[in-house]
Amino acid sequence: TTWLGLTLSCAQCHDHKFDPVSQREFYQLYAIFNSTVDECEGTIYKGKQISAKSPLNDLSSEAFVMADRKEPLLTHLKIRGAFDVDGEVVEPGVVDSIHPSRAAVRNRISLACWIIDRDNPLTARVAINRIWQSVFGIGIVRTSEDFGLRGERPSHPELLDWLAIEFPRRDWSMKAMLRLIVTSATYRQTSRVSEEAYLRDPENRLLGRGARFRVDAEIVRDI
């Protein structure tokens, strides 16, 4: 949902009814995380401990992160999604119908590389759409959490494509993309509008005026 804008959980008990995601692919993704350790046993943490330094005050601190198991667990496809009814064993993998993997995806780092591959058609579009939504109050794709067949089509597909190309070209810098958007002529328009123009486009989907909407409390300071 965050990086690919897909409702993958729909495929937990059957093939996705709308998007090209099979139940097997759901459990292939699940197998990647099923082979990690992130829980505590009593006072002994089974993950990996790292040391991190704050960029603000140079203070160091210890932190626990997820770690890969030395012996991966077997992951079974669950019949009709029932946790206690095992089906066939599945190997770790990704959703090839969305973006075929060039190499075997066996762990979280290879999954991360697959997600941010420049040829992955979803990642940059989903991420930049969320940035656009934070600035204008509504995304180019209104359903920011669903880019599937049940999601809404983009109001400006060429604009979304261009921004999705520009995002990785600028080294995936959210700061650079925010600067690009808020210094654009589109964003710098006045939010004042005539009644006639408002009635013609009440949600400003045509981007004919500046954004005017209530932001979340956490965003007020940033603005």
Distance CA 59, CA 113 (A): 30
Distance CA 81, CA 174 (A): 37
pLDDT digits (tens, 9 = 90+) for 172-207: 999 999 999 999 999 999 999 899 999 999 999 999
Exposure b/e, 63-96, CB count within 10 A at least 16 = b: eeeebeeeebeebbbbeeeeeeeeeeebebbbbe
Percentage of the residues of the chain whose pLDDT score is greater than 90: 47
Structure confidence at residue 39 (pLDDT): 53
Radius of gyration of the chain (CA): 22
Structure confidence at residue 52 (pLDDT): 74
Distance CA 34, CA 37 (A): 8
Check: CB of residue 70 under 8 Å from CB of residue 31.
no
Q: Is the pLDDT of residue 44 over 90?
A: no
Check: CB of residue 212 under 8 Å from CB of residue 190.
no
Pairing of β 48-53 and β 60-65: antiparallel
Q: Is the pLDDT of residue 143 over 50?
A: yes
What is the average pLDDT score of the chain? 87
Structure confidence at residue 42 (pLDDT): 43
Structure confidence at residue 136 (pLDDT): 92
More confident residue, 219 or 22: 22
Check: CB of residue 27 under 8 Å from CB of residue 8.
no
Q: Is the pLDDT of residue 100 over 60?
A: yes
Structure confidence at residue 125 (pLDDT): 97
What is the DSSP secondary structure assignment for residue 216, as one 8-state letter? P
Give the global pTM.
0.80
Structure confidence at residue 43 (pLDDT): 42
